């Protein structure tokens, strides 16, 4: 089962995402729900999630700053960015860190599910490739 952390400074959004989606049926365990990037950074280092679903604009540490702090070669961690801002600069920064999932608020459950499924497939593919590499 893959592990997921949800990060959003708006309580209603993070709690809705957590409760409205049947994560278990997707093979996902929600291991954390965080209210900002600083809290999420600590939670990520503590719980080793596979997927982080995060808002971009948050106090303290933005979602993009979180991605940048945690981007390193060989780390199999997928980010899904969720934002109310259709800003090219945000998208450009996200793409420069290999973030392939960028959802605009408001979005529906199905859009989140599809992004999570794509992220999960990417993780499984990368893990298989890593196992095939000679040691």
pLDDT tier at 91 (50, 70, 90 boundaries)?
Answer: confident
Residue 51, token pair as written in the block: 């997927």
pLDDT tier at 73 (50, 70, 90 boundaries)?
Answer: low
| Residue owning tokens 């995402």 | 17
Does the predicted model carry a pTM greater than 0.85? yes
Interval 10-24 mean pLDDT: 96
| Residue owning tokens 């999960």 | 120
86 pLDDT higher than 80: no
The answer to whether 18 touches 62, Cβ cutoff 8 Å, is no
Strands (E), 77-123: 78-83, 101-104
What confidence score (pLDDT) does residue 84 get? 82
Q: What are 19's strand-pairing partners?
A: none
Half-sphere exposure of 123 (CA within 13 A, CB side): 22
What confidence score (pLDDT) does residue 95 get? 75
135 pLDDT higher than 70: no
Instruction: Of 50-54, 72-76, 99-103, give the range with the top mean pLDDT.
Output: 50-54
Reported as a single tens digit per residue, the pLDDT across 20-69 is 999 999 999 999 999 999 999 999 999 999 999 999 999 889 999 999 99
Residue 48, token pair as written in the block: 């080793």
What confidence score (pLDDT) does residue 80 get? 94
Reported as a single tens digit per residue, the pLDDT across 33-46 is 999 999 999 999 99
Residue 129, token pair as written in the block: 């490739």
- Segment among 10-19, 52-61, 65-74, 102-111 with least mean pLDDT: 65-74
């Amino acid at each position: 089962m893959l592990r997921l952390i949800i990060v959003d400074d708006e309580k209603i959004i993070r709690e809705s995402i957590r409760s409205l989606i049947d994560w278990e049926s997707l093979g996902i365990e929600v291991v954390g729900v965080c209210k900002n990037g600083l809290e999420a950074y600590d939670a990520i280092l503590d719980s080793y999630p596979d997927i982080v679903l995060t808002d971009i604009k948050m106090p303290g540490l933005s979602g993009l700053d979180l991605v940048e702090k945690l981007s390193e070669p060989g780390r199999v961690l997928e980010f899904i960015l969720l934002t109310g801002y259709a800003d090219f600069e945000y998208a450009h920064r996200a793409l420069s860190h290999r973030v392939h999932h960028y959802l605009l608020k408001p979005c529906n459950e199905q859009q989140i599910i599809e992004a999570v499924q794509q992220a999960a497939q990417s993780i499984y593919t990368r893990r298989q490739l890593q196992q095939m590499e000679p040691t």
